[in-house]
């Protein structure tokens, strides 16, 4: 069952699994009539509509791969994705094209429009016309394990976006290991879906995961903390998937809520602070289950559903997946409790960047995928993330990970949020700057004094921030990742 919930608490539509299937087979007939089949790629830019899920089911059903488009991309970025992926057909709302008609040329075939089609260029076919005269009832095409189901473009916060093809096997293996075996999701669950529907998190786990498990999904177009809290009980929600920013914002809402149907809150895409983890536990009585993944590998680790939980840890490797720590220079495997680069191998790992053998060669070592993340594994196999290699701060030749400094700063009760970056320093190469969001009522000067005293106690001298800056918010992208370049600027 798929439902759409509006911010005022009303459900505007409901669609059963069977209805979705029937609609998808109608779309499949239209896709086939347009010449789309195995080996083709179709772009999708739709909000949380029944059409969104139908489009994915139908494209996969005819054996093609889906290229989800992030609506926040500019016309230039959208064109680059469409061209790089060699997209044969695109399906979107009218606004995507009317905002930037030049993107039309980047698709090799037709463009289908859902919704109002007034004053649109000629090459566009209204979806209704594409579907007219088609008959449902087609069976999905069988695909091989190694065929690409989803071609995602990485967020691009680290440079040019690269295409990541996740195969049917990658997705199936990962959804089984994470959702079924670790989070124990079943068809009795009801997921409140407040994430964007075009990334691995919201699409791969939230939508594909629900189709895989068979649970109901309640779509909220966008995350609004007060609306989310009000929705849990009346809509009998049992699973919520969020990014850390969402959990901070839920904690900021001053309302009493009952969570009688709730079973599991999960978090990922960026580090969840131990402080938020603790406050959420205290206030709502639920332990946020944090997991860690990348577009290229889907999810690698998760905290167990019933503990033991370790704040600041993303849990042990999922069943069937190997996670290890290596020295990024010598490529030697490191021991327990030593910090290095996190490498991953298993059925979840993609096979290489789309048409980009150089990038592929640079990120694999034999069958290990080098994540570019720094981490450490403890004696129980629990992984803790220490930041990105590129974010490593080198103070006078000694490495400092932002994560270890942030973890200490966050234990000061006056700190709501913080982020640490390296700034150029003529003497030491880099020095550490801390950006702090104080809790309401905190005086910056007094808080800085307490923080300086705290780091003196808890951190070696070279790890201590030299500079403190107080902000209202830490700049983050849509998935909650800190935009460190902005802070540096």
Least Å distance between CB 401 and ligand AMP? 11
Distance from C-alpha of 127 to C-alpha of 352, rounded to nearest angstrom: 34
For ligand AMP, the binding residue among 45, 50, 125, 269 (CB under 6 A) is 269
Place of tokens 């529907």: 197
Nearer to ligand AMP, 54 or 269 (CB): 269
Instruction: Supply the Cα-derived Rg of the chain in whole angstroms.
Output: 23
Q: Which of residues 277-316 bind ligand AMP (CB under 6 A)?
A: 290, 292-295, 314
Question: Nearest-5° angle of CA 19, CA 20, CA 21?
Answer: 90
Q: Which of residues 232-261 bind ligand AMP (CB under 6 A)?
A: none
Distance from C-alpha of 181 to C-alpha of 168, rounded to nearest angstrom: 18
For ligand AMP, the binding residue among 175, 385, 408, 418 (CB under 6 A) is 385
Residue 377 engages ligand AMP in binding (rule: CB under 6 A): no
Least Å distance between CB 387 and ligand AMP? 8
Nearer to ligand AMP, 50 or 297 (CB): 297
Listed ranges 94-102, 202-210, 265-273, 404-412: which one lies at the site for ligand AMP (CB under 6 A):
265-273
Nearer to ligand AMP, 242 or 268 (CB): 268
Nearer to ligand AMP, 88 or 481 (CB): 481
Would residue 136 be called left, alpha or beta, if left means φ above 0 and alpha means ψ between -120 and 50 degrees? beta
Torsion of CA 211, 215, 220, 226, to 10 degrees: -150
Distance from C-alpha of 63 to C-alpha of 38, rounded to nearest angstrom: 4
Place of tokens 């439902």: 3
Least Å distance between CB 166 and ligand AMP? 11
For ligand AMP, the binding residue among 271, 311, 352, 402 (CB under 6 A) is 271
Listed ranges 189-197, 214-222, 268-276, 462-470: which one lies at the site for ligand AMP (CB under 6 A):
268-276
For ligand AMP, the binding residue among 388, 463, 464, 484 (CB under 6 A) is 388
CB 449 within 8 A of CB 482: no
Least Å distance between CB 243 and ligand AMP? 9
Distance from C-alpha of 84 to C-alpha of 73, rounded to nearest angstrom: 15
Place of tokens 């040019």: 160
How many residues in the shown chain lie near ligand AMP by CB under 6 A? 17
Nearer to ligand AMP, 344 or 432 (CB): 344
H or E element, residue 11? strand 11-15
Distance from C-alpha of 141 to C-alpha of 122, rounded to nearest angstrom: 31
- Tell me the torsion sign for CA atoms 138, 132, 1, 293: positive
Listed ranges 115-123, 134-142, 263-271, 433-441: which one lies at the site for ligand AMP (CB under 6 A):
263-271
Nearer to ligand AMP, 180 or 270 (CB): 270
In this structure, the strands spanning 239-242 and 216-220 are unpaired
For ligand AMP, the binding residue among 23, 79, 373, 412 (CB under 6 A) is 373
Least Å distance between CB 127 and ligand AMP? 30
Site string for ligand AMP, 107-146 (x = CB under 6 A): ----------------------------------------
Distance from C-alpha of 114 to C-alpha of 389, rounded to nearest angstrom: 43
The percent helix, strand, coil of the chain (3-state, each to 5) is 30, 30, 40
Least Å distance between CB 271 and ligand AMP? 4
Nearer to ligand AMP, 176 or 301 (CB): 301
Nearer to ligand AMP, 199 or 235 (CB): 199
Least Å distance between CB 10 and ligand AMP? 33
Nearer to ligand AMP, 386 or 464 (CB): 386
Q: Which of residues 148-207 bind ligand AMP (CB under 6 A)?
A: 154-155, 200
Residue 207's DSSP bridge partners are none
Nearer to ligand AMP, 163 or 293 (CB): 293
Distance from C-alpha of 17 to C-alpha of 4, rounded to nearest angstrom: 14
H or E element, residue 148? strand 148-153
Q: Which of residues 408-447 bind ligand AMP (CB under 6 A)?
A: none
Q: Residue 24's Cα: distance from chain center in Å?
A: 26
Least Å distance between CB 96 and ligand AMP? 22
Distance from C-alpha of 127 to C-alpha of 129, rounded to nearest angstrom: 5
Distance from C-alpha of 220 to C-alpha of 73, rounded to nearest angstrom: 21
Nearer to ligand AMP, 110 or 268 (CB): 268
Q: Closest by alpha carbon to 98, among 80, 77, 113, 87?
A: 113
For ligand AMP, the binding residue among 1, 80, 180, 270 (CB under 6 A) is 270
Distance from C-alpha of 194 to C-alpha of 202, rounded to nearest angstrom: 8
Nearer to ligand AMP, 373 or 442 (CB): 373
Query: Nearest 5°: phi and psi at 82?
Result: -60, -40
CB-nearest residue to ligand AMP: 295
Q: Closest by alpha carbon to 73, among 117, 40, 53, 103?
A: 103
Q: Which residues of this chain interact with ligand AMP, rule CB under 6 A?
A: 154-155, 200, 268-271, 290, 292-295, 314, 371, 373, 385, 388
């Amino acid at each position: 069952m798929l439902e759409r919930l509006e911010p005022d608490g009303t459900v505007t539509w409901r669609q059963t699994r069977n209805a979705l299937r029937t609609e998808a087979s109608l779309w499949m007939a239209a896709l086939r009539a347009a010449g789309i089949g195995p080996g083709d790629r179709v772009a999708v830019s739709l909000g949380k509509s029944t059409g969104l899920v139908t489009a994915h089911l139908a494209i996969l059903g005819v054996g093609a791969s889906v290229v989800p488009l992030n609506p926040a991309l500019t016309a230039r970025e959208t064109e680059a994705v469409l061209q790089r992926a060699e997209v044969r057909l695109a399906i979107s709302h009218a606004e995507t094209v009317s905002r930037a008609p030049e993107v039309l040329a980047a698709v090799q075939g037709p463009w289908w429009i859902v919704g109002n089609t007034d004053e649109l260029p000629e090459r566009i076919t209204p979806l209704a016309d594409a579907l007219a005269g088609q008959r449902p009832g087609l069976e999905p095409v069988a695909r091989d394990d190694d065929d690409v189901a989803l071609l995602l473009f990485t967020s691009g916060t680290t440079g040019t976006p690269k295409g990541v093809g996740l195969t049917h096997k990658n997705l199936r293996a990962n959804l089984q290991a994470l959702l079924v075996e670790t989070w124990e999701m079943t068809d009795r669950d009801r997921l409140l879906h407040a994430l964007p529907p075009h990334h691995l998190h919201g699409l791969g786990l939230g939508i594909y995961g629900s189709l895989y498990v068979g649970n109901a999904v309640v779509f909220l177009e966008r995350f609004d903390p007060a609306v989310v809290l009000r929705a849990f009980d009346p809509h009998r929600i049992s699973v919520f998937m969020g990014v850390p920013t969402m959990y901070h914002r839920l904690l900021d809402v001053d309302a009493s809520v009952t969570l009688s149907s709730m079973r599991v809150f999960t978090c990922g895409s960026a580090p969840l602070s131990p402080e938020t983890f603790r406050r959420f536990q205290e206030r709502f009585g639920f332990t946020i289950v944090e997991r860690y993944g990348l577009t290229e590998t889907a999810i690698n680790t998760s905290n167990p559903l019933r503990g033991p939980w370790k704040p600041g840890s993303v849990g042990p490797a999922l069943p069937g997946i190997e996670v290890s720590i290596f020295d990024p220079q010598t490529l030697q495997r490191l021991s327990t409790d030593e910090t290095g680069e996190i490498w991953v191998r298993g059925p979840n790992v993609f096979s290489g960047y789309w048409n980009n053998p150089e990038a592929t060669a640079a990120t694999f070592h034999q069958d290990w995928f080098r994540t570019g993340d720094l981490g450490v594994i403890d004696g129980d196999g629990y992984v803790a993330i220490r930041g990105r290699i590129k974010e490593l701060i080198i103070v006078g030749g000694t490495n400092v990970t932002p994560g270890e400094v942030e973890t200490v700063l966050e234990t000061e009760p006056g700190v709501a949020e913080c982020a640490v970056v390296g700034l150029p320093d003529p003497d030491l190469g880099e020095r550490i700057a801390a950006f702090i969001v104080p809790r309401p009522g905190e005086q910056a000067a007094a808080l800085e004094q307490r923080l300086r005293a705290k780091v003196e106690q808890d951190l070696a001298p070279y790890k201590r921030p030299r500079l403190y800056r107080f902000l209202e918010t830490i700049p983050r992208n849509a998935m909650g990742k800190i935009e460190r370049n902005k802070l540096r600027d």
